[in-house]
Amino acid sequence: MKRRILVKRYSQGLINAISDDEEFNAVQEELRGFENLLASHEKLQEILHSPFLPLTKRKELTNDLLKTLSYRPKTSRFIALCVANDRLDFLPEILDFLPELWNEEKGVSTFEVSSVVPLTEAQKEKLKGKLELLEKRPVSLKYRSDSTLVGGLSIRRGNIIYDVSIRGNLDRLKEIIIEG
């Protein structure tokens, strides 16, 4: 729970520092590049996460690395902040959360749509239209496959879940039978 709160705080802090879509896309791309760099260089990742290497050395190494990468100042400061506070391992989660927060700032609702099979473009457009009518504002949809659904869709926005799947219907029927 604490980790999730920290991820949200760091993400929100970064979002607050960004001024427009162009800057958001550039910073997000640079952060993804840094994440890929760490993933492809195990030794570097080990060094930056090592509790045996003094924090001052890790900061120095990070600053030197960031100078060679020539990232935007906001990206570099954010990475340096993560290293200084031992939060670099939060970067993948922060990157997953950033688009949702950015959309929220822009007045766009983000939904996660789960289905057994991928939806066609026509189905995606129809679903998006229906959700925009329901929300009375623009929506952004993230799609994923979920083999446990059996059929239908599960649509999630934050803590709200719209479950129109066969599995969800069966679970509700089971609850009714158990209650008597």
CATH number of the domain encompassing residue 163: 3.40.30
Question: d(Cα 115, Cα 119) in Å, to the nearest integer?
Answer: 8
163 and 115 Cβ atoms separated by less than 8 Å: no
pLDDT score of 157:
86
Residues 37, 122 within the same domain: no
Report the candidate in 30, 27, 73 with the shortest Cα–Cα distance to residue 38: 30
Where among 88, 103, 118 does a domain terminate?
103
**What range defines the domain where residue 142 resides?**
109-179
CATH number of the domain encompassing residue 10: 1.10.520
Q: pLDDT truncated to tens, each residue of the chain (180 aa)?
A: 788 899 999 999 999 999 899 999 999 999 999 999 999 998 988 888 888 888 899 999 999 999 899 899 999 999 999 999 989 999 999 999 899 889 888 888 888 898 888 889 999 999 999 989 988 889 988 888 888 877 788 888 877 888 777 777 777 778 888 886
